[in-house]
């Protein structure tokens, strides 16, 4: 596995992993502080390494920092839980609207990475839209029916689910790749 790929994984999944560990070992609020600190660190590292921060990561980071600050200021875990559900619901809705309007919402976010057909972009956007909506609904269900501690487990499980689902989409990218793309539909 290339070193840059592992670094990218650490940037994407490091903050939520520190949240999970902090909440598990200490408490929810320590987890939130660690989430915020590692989010800022990941954004700073991305900026230093690449000279830019991907739009998707930037949006997620803003959501995390605002909800984290609200959670710490009010001493109420609700804000971080709300952020996760709201973030996923908004992205799911954006994917769905883009799909219905024949404008795949993922294309502007990931066209520098993937080199696939318009049909591939539409299918990818629809799949991710459904994934985001189901994630948001699951988050709502878990936090309303169980404790915040159980929600922390759900949140971490969704990181694993996101990774598995994301990797599974490479088969679509492979099938819908353009002639000058890599075998897995990536830009060369």
Residue 88 is predicted with a pLDDT of 96
Q: Using CA of residue 14, residue 16, residue 19, residue 24, what is the dihedral sign?
A: negative
Residue 2 is predicted with a pLDDT of 58
Mean pLDDT by 10 residues, the chain (188 residues): 67 89 95 97 90 84 96 97 95 94 88 84 95 98 96 95 92 88 78
Residue 5 is predicted with a pLDDT of 63
Other residues' Cβ atoms within 10 Å of the Cβ of residue 176: 20
Residue 116 is predicted with a pLDDT of 87
In the chain, how long is the greatest CA-to-CA distance?
54
Residue 18 is predicted with a pLDDT of 95
- Apex CA 4: angle with CA 83 and CA 110, to 5°? 50
Q: Which residues are registered as beta bridge partners of 186? A: 114
Q: Provide the H-helix boundaries in 75-105.
A: 78-100
Q: How many CA atoms lie within 13 A of 50 on its CB side?
A: 14
3-state secondary structure (DSSP) of residue 70 = helix
**Percentage helix, strand, coil for the chain under 3-state DSSP, each rounded to 5:** 80, 0, 20
Place of tokens 């769905």: 96
- Residue 115 DSSP symbol: -
Closest-CA residue to 131 (of 100, 80, 6, 123) = 123
Phi, psi of 177 (to 5 degrees): -70, 150
Place of tokens 């936090």: 143
């Amino acid at each position: 596995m290339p070193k840059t790929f592992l670094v990218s994984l650490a940037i994407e999944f490091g903050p939520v992993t520190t949240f999970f560990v902090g909440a598990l070992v200490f408490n929810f609020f320590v987890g939130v502080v660690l989430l915020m600190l590692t989010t800022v660190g990941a954004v700073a590292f991305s900026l230093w390494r690449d000279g830019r921060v991907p739009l998707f990561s930037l949006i997620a980071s803003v959501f995390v920092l605002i909800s984290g600050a609200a959670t710490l200021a009010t001493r109420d875990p609700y804000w971080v839980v709300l952020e996760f559900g709201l973030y996923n619901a908004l992205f799911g809705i954006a994917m769905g609207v883009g799909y219905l309007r024949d404008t795949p919402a993922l294309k502007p976010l990931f066209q520098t990475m993937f080199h696939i057909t318009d049909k591939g972009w539409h299918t990818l956007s629809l799949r991710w839209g459904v994934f985001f909506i189901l994630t948001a609904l699951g988050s709502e269900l878990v936090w309303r029916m169980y404790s915040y501690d159980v929600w922390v487990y759900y949140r971490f499980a969704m990181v694993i689910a996101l990774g598995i689902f994301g990797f599974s989409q490479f088969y679509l990218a492979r099938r819908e790749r353009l002639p000058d793309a890599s075998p897995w539909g990536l830009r060369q």
